[in-house]
């Protein structure tokens, strides 16, 4: 997954906790209980990141998840309707998320984990469908993977040495 270097300190980030899980490790004296928190952060303006935090206390796991998410922020190519520039299939592990461009007024039509990523990225009009695995962590990472690989028409035209008007989209 391609990651653009974005300074998280310059962005006004909001956070949402996708899931908190209690995990245990069996050791000689019994079980060690810990918590993992999957956190999504974004600026509602085309930047979003996902992080996983692990700690013995829930607030500490959330804090670590937020820090990790701020380190992994990607930029999302949005169009004039606050939608994505083209349809794309994001993949991570066995999870696949179909991201479909939508006209103005559609809103965010997405399942829970994918919805959080789209909302914090600043997308207002999109249709998504989760295919394959429904593991929340993999769905979130598949959505982030798909959003990070989107291209704007100007970028594609410049790469191919053509004019934007030559493309029919």
Give pLDDT tens digits for 140-163. Answer: 999 999 999 988 888 888 888 888
Write out the residue range of the structural domain in which residue 100 sits: 76-151
Is position 168 within any domain? Answer: no
Burial of residue 4 (CB within 10 Å: 0-12, 13-18, 19+) is exposed
Q: Using CA atoms, how far apart are residues 78 and 82, in angstroms rounded to an integer?
A: 6
Q: Using CA atoms, how far apart are residues 87 and 149, in angstroms rounded to an integer?
A: 11
Q: Same domain, yes or no, for 98 and 69?
A: no
The β-bridge relationship of strands 30-42 and 47-55 is antiparallel
Residue 3 has a pLDDT of: 47
What is the 8-class DSSP label of residue 84?
Answer: B
Whether 168 shows a pLDDT value over 70: the answer reads no
Count of the separate structural domains present in the chain: 2
Is position 45 within any domain? Answer: yes
Q: Same domain, yes or no, for 86 and 138?
A: yes
Q: Same domain, yes or no, for 53 and 85?
A: no
Distances (CA, A) of 88 to 12, 50, 142, 145: 27, 19, 11, 10
* Tens digit of each residue's pLDDT (9 = 90 or more) over 45-104: 989 999 999 999 999 999 999 999 999 999 998 888 889 988 999 999 999 999 999 999
């Amino acid at each position: 997954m391609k990651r653009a270097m974005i300074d998280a300190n310059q962005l006004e980030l909001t956070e949402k906790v996708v899931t908190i899980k209690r995990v245990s490790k069996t050791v000689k004296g019994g079980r060690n209980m810990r918590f993992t928190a999957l956190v999504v952060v974004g600026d509602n303006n085309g930047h979003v990141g996902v992080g996983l935090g692990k700690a013995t206390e829930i607030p500490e796991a959330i804090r670590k998840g937020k820090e990790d998410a701020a380190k992994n922020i990607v930029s999302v190519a949005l169009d004039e309707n606050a939608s994505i520039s083209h349809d794309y299939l994001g993949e991570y592990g066995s999870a696949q998320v179909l991201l479909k461009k939508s006209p103005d007024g559609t809103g965010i039509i997405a399942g829970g984990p994918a919805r959080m990523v789209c909302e914090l990225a600043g997308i207002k009009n999109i249709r998504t469908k989760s295919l394959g695995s429904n593991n929340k962590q993999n769905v979130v990472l598949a959505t982030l993977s798909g959003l990070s690989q989107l291209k704007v028409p100007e970028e594609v035209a410049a790469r191919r040495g053509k004019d934007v008007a030559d493309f029919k989209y």
